Chains A and B, each alone.
Chain A
Amino acid sequence: MSVQALRAGALATAVTAPSSALAGWGVNLPEGVTSISNTIYDIHMWVFWICVAIGVGVFLAILWSVLAYRHSKGAKPAHFHENTTVELIWTVIPFLILIMMAIPATGTLVDMYDTSDAEMEIKVTGYQWRWQYEYMDEDISFFSSADTPRDAERNLIKKTEDYKYSVDNPLVLPVDTKIRFLITSNDVIHSWWVPEFGWKQDAIPGFINKNWAKIEEPGTYYGLCAELCGQGHSDMPIEVKAVPKDDYREWVAEQTGEDG
């Protein structure tokens, strides 16, 4: 099955897909800003439409049965209770459909696990309840904590668009650069998730997990901790500022200049 076919399936849903990540009635995954997130979105839509087709078929069969064979309309029951051919068919066909799903899924998974040839590395460490970012190739390291005002949580002041998303020190990353993330934790298990990158990866004490992203568009991308980590679980958001390479080099110089 070709990527074009996947794209066609994805296009078909463009109507229902949210135009903005902050849409109040968002119903679907974001397509994201990396090639991996795009592929994951396409697989998601491909599997989704197959499931819709199966669901519609099953529901029509049920609807037909309950409408056409009503006791109250004097329906007389048949007595068949076995048919080897039919049973074989509905064992084999689902199996074939599953293979159609498994093939693109396998390819994508292999790509996701290819963290080689990264141009830079970011170490992400989870704490109760904030993130630490270390730029392995630069002398930059800082904590990133939520800065949603307490009064907004207590409904004393109006909530802004970035309520529960904004942080004091966003993670600044360059676009068009293959970035390897090394993810770990200092206390309990957390999970670092930016939906626009297409994945979450658990931050586990004693383990260093890997994943990667090559951001294709500059912008601000939000994420949230996705593994229950205590009472501040919803208070450790992620804010990524993806900037053009030149701006990134400027930012790095600024940071290291301040430190030195």
Chain B
Amino acid sequence: MSAVADAHAADHHDHGPAKGIGRWLFTTNHKDIGTMYLVFSFAMFLAGGAMAMIIRAELFQPGLQMVEPAFFNQMTTMHGLVMIFGAVMPAFVGLANWMIPLMVGAPDMALPRMNNWSFWLLVTGSLILMSTLFMDGGAPNFGWTAYAPLSTTYGPDSTTFFIFSVHILGISSIMGAINVIATIINMRAPGMTLMKMPMFVWTWLITAFLLIAVLPVLAGAVTMLLMDIHFGTAFFDAAGGGDPVLYQHIFWFFGHPEVYILILPAFGIISQIIPTFSRKPLFGYTSMVYATAAIAILSFLVWSHHMFTVGLPLPGELFFMYATMIIAVPTGVKIFNWITTMFRGSISFETPMLFAIGFVVLFTVGGLSGVMLAIAPADFQYHDTYFVVAHFHYVLIPGAIYGIFASVYYWLPKWSGRMYSEALGKAHFWLSFIGLNIAFFPMHFLGLAGMPRRYADYPIQFANFNQVSTIGAFLFGASQLLLVFIVYKAVKSGPKADAKPWDGAEGLEWTVPSPAPYHTFEQPPRVD
């Protein structure tokens, strides 16, 4: 059997990348597609970041200086949509494309043609979304949550395009998720049992199931918006017997698992990086797997904690408060496991490790403010204030974004065959760390002192902390340009990287040369 396979492989020895633009348009290679996902998501990250800069510039002082409230609302809406659907989710799919086959010892993703299609649908959907900025009446201005009836009866004309783009982006993500599941279930190297899989593979497997479960729910929700706008239905129109709160229930049934879609792959990345630079195996691998699964399951049972003030009945409030609080338990297990992995290790502080430690520290801050928000009676004060904005940025930037940064520094030597500048990488980390805290920590104070979110203008009592926050936001934003330079410089002229540049690293991806050849694991490796 293996002799036949060898002879077969020998027939195809010369399969390099195609030449010219065709390589990128028609590629079915998981490494090319992974690269395209990562580059595209970073471009979207910069676009969404530019919108955040407009928001922060306007909020530097009370009064209206830079933009009108109508445009300000478009910026808050588009910032959220672009960052979630354009930057973070595609970046994780890009990492999955590059790393899952390498980590499980597979030659490619299970469904390579669909892989190409899902990438180009992502580009299509994103362009439709961005094009709404140039339409009459402007882009969507009702927040990324698109609550009816603000998004239906009172929405701009471009809402229809927003709905269409959500459909396309959803199809793209579902196809990516199917591909991840098919690859992990079917294409693991012989000997790699489920409980031997790297944590990144595990967390992505669970994330992929979440995606398949909830993206159709989002598609249903926005389709009902579409019907209300164009076909005279009244799903969410009280005047026609509909129910505006129903939209929120459906949206958050998608929205809360979505939050974990944005964070679970990052959990996996951190679980790869901390053991590498602590030179010690991950503490509690089994409990990490179970904690991830527990978080995923609980995420379906907590959606109404986004809706504590809509007038839920008392038993509903209590149920969602208790269920939400319970999520703190498996999340705590993960934090404790990471710290115990570092405890009595032999720790060095290369850039990926700095971002990983930054992740654990700042994600803890976001997790603890999450516990506060879960307390329903207090949430009647916190809800829809800057305290919430501070909370989810502390979860998503150190969580999702730091996770992505950490993995870029960690695996860039494998992707490009070259090392980045450690000094510049560390500068990027410290500037990001300081900028993030100056930008977002004062938002806790603003929210508690009474500033609602999505305000273009505000009472003067909030002026001081808004000013501080804007300065931090610009520092954070500017330091991301450094990443462009670091990656460009590394790929162009960085020193050559070894197959395994990190002495504490483990896993199949380090057994192939750097840069990883166009085709890897044509013969499956054996895992013991």
Query: Residues on A close to B: CB < 8 A?
Result: 18, 21-30, 39-40, 43-44, 47-48, 51, 54-55, 58-59, 61-62, 64-66, 69-72, 75-83, 86-87, 90-91, 94-95, 98, 101-102, 105-106, 108-110, 112-113, 128, 152-155, 159, 161-165, 187-189, 191, 193, 195, 198-202, 204-207, 209-210, 222, 224-234
Contacts and interface: CB of A to CB of B under 8 A. Distances in A.
A164 B458 contact: yes
B450 A188 contact: no
A91 B287 CA distance: 10
Given A21-B450, A109-B314, A201-B309, A65 B347 contact: yes
A27 B69 contact: no
B244 to A, nearest CB: 5
B386 to A, nearest CB: 11
Given A54-B368, A62-B342, A206 B243 contact: yes
Interface in B146-180: 147, 149-150, 153-154
Nearest to B335: A58
Nearest to B147: A189
**Which size class do B's interface residues fall under?**
35 or more
A86 B284 CA distance: 10
Contacts of A193: 452
A58 B337 CA distance: 11
A209 B311 contact: yes
Given A105-B378, A206-B239, 18 more contacts: A18-B449, A23-B461, A27-B449, A69-B344, A77-B346, A82-B283, A98-B371, A101-B375, A102-B325, A105-B321, A108-B377, A153-B457, A199-B309, A204-B310, A231-B68, A231-B141, A231-B456, A234-B457
B281 interface: yes
A70 B452 contact: no
Contact of A51 (B153, B317, B371, B448): B371
Given A29-B448, A47-B375, A233-B69, A200 B343 contact: no
Contact of B280 (A77, A90, A112): A77
B465 interface: yes
A163 B62 contact: yes
A250 B279 CA distance: 77
A127 B65 CA distance: 26
A69 B347 contact: yes
Contacts of B314: 109-110, 113
Given A61-B343, A91-B329, A204 B311 contact: yes
Given A105-B376, A226-B385, A233 B448 contact: no
Contacts of A95: 326, 329
Contact of A58 (B63, B150, B364): B364
Quick one: which of A70, A71, A82 has the most chain B CB within 10 A? A71
A40 B385 contact: no
A228 B63 contact: no
Nearest to A165: B459
